[in-house]
A and B are shown apart, each in its own frame.
Chain A
Amino acid sequence: MTLLECKHLSKRYGKHNALSDINLSIDSGHIIGLLGPNGSGKTTLIKLICGLLTPTEGEIYVNESPVGIASKKAISYLPDHSYLNDWMRVRDIIDYFEDFYEDFESIRAYDMLAKLHINPSDKLKTMSKGTKEKVQLILVMSRRADLYILDEPIAGVDPAARDYILETILTNYDENASILISTHLISDVENILDEVIFLQNGVIRMHTSVDEIREKEQKSVDALFREVFRC
């Protein structure tokens, strides 16, 4: 079943084309890497899907619904920066998510917090950047969503934390759901990906399965990425 569909999607900022004529279809039950160098349009595409930007042209459908209440119910989104109120306690944020998302499982959230020794009574402003990122990931992965969109989930954290984050992602998503991960740290995520989308200068250079890359190109995704995007 098609979970996400983008039709002739474009986003322009003045004269600059951030995305041009993107046509994309993602099915259920896949982990997809959205890969590309800085400024290629990864975050713009994600923000358009999440309804944080208005497209200049084109349409987006999630579970056959346009961007709106239904699509937001289906998507669990992790942005590339903190979007939570610093004065809030972790417990308050969990209550907030529980109030708004029917598919949010607070037991799972508290369980993950306990495993990481994060006190739910702590305020976010007392936490390090890495701990805040972990709290956000826990919130996002505690939902039973159809589509998880994770924007740079492992950027800016140490390798040990990266392993934990990837493990959290893999152990907490429903197999019928899909995950779209945007990153440029390809070697770290390569092993968990089913498909990759290479984005360059706002256009899709390649959308294929990881198996196909390995069979046809006889290369790892990381090696192919370096070849395609060589400066």
Chain B
Amino acid sequence: MLGKLIKHDFKATGKVMLPLNLILIVVTALGCLLMASRLLQRAELLPLTFLLLFAYVMMIIALGTVTSIYLIVHFYRTMFTAQGYLSFTLPVSPWSLLHSKLIVGFVWTVVEITLSILSALLLVGAASGFRFSLSDLAQVFSSTVSLNGETTVISTSLAEILGYSPAMLLTLLILLMLVSCFYSVATGYGSAALGQLYAKHKVVGTVLALAGTYLLTQIIIGGIMISIALKLVVKISSDSSAVLLAEDMAGIMRSIYQPLFPAMILAYLVLGIAGYLAAGIIMKRKVNLD
């Protein structure tokens, strides 16, 4: 039954999500053509270039926001409004309903983010005339990053700064993206389920629950950053040598970034699981359709 639920939910959400993603693909294609034409490299067109770049960034942000909001609204409408009468009378468990919505929401979110990243990469590639190879990319991760300051020149590999090999860094970034997609969908659904517990003003309840979740996330992520920074301050202040050498900078950066990625992945995962459990338990035990 889960497969059937997923099939029908893809059909329903595809009506909005496919055109949304198509917009991004079309804009990317047009952008690549514009970049390849070298038209925007003329000095007199610089303001227009900035304007287009700004519009592009806004569009990427708007598409991400619309995707998140649409998926929560779709979940809310199909579960807790008139359409919920059909959903909750299907011979399936509430957990199956939730799993189908989570899988569909997760897939659309991952597709949207992946397309956004590919779009940005393609535009950058088109602007450079695609004159780079995979070995160029590998170099970025190995030893060619230089921070040019007024007085100091530091030449340190990105791997040394972040404390991860290129493969590990890429794996962590992909994992962070996937976990944050799960977090976004699961906490959104959890908030919608919490909102319907209100006897009246269910939509207001959902918005308040969403705001609360956002605030909690910011507090937790902020807490992680502060604890990493504090640890670093303690480490530096306990060091007897007062002079901070340039090569120590890499170590300092490493002690920030090395724990940051795993901590963020864990935080998003825990919050996502909390949202998932809240939605599932409410749908199983506390459903009250008007």
Contact = CB atoms under 8 A, between A and B. Distances in A.
B199 A100 contact: no
Contacts of A51: 88-89, 287
B288 A54 contact: yes
Interface residues of B, number: 24
A82 B7 CA distance: 23
Contacts of B131: none
A59 B8 CA distance: 32
Contacts of B288: 53-54
Given A52-B287, A69-B91, A87-B15, A99 B8 contact: yes
A177 B97 CA distance: 28
Interface secondary structure of B, over-half rule: loop
A156 interface: no
Contacts of A54: 285-288
B143 interface: no
A14 to B, nearest CB: 7
A52 B289 contact: yes
Interface of A: 13-14, 47, 50-54, 68-70, 72-73, 75, 77, 79, 81-85, 87, 92, 96, 99-101
Q: Which of B4, B7, B89, B288 has the most CB of A within 10 A?
A: B89
Contacts of A77: 85, 89
A208 B273 CA distance: 51
A218 B90 CA distance: 43
A169 B92 CA distance: 26
B1 interface: yes
A47 B289 contact: yes
A72 B92 CA distance: 8
Interface string B1-40: 1001001100110010000000000000000000000000
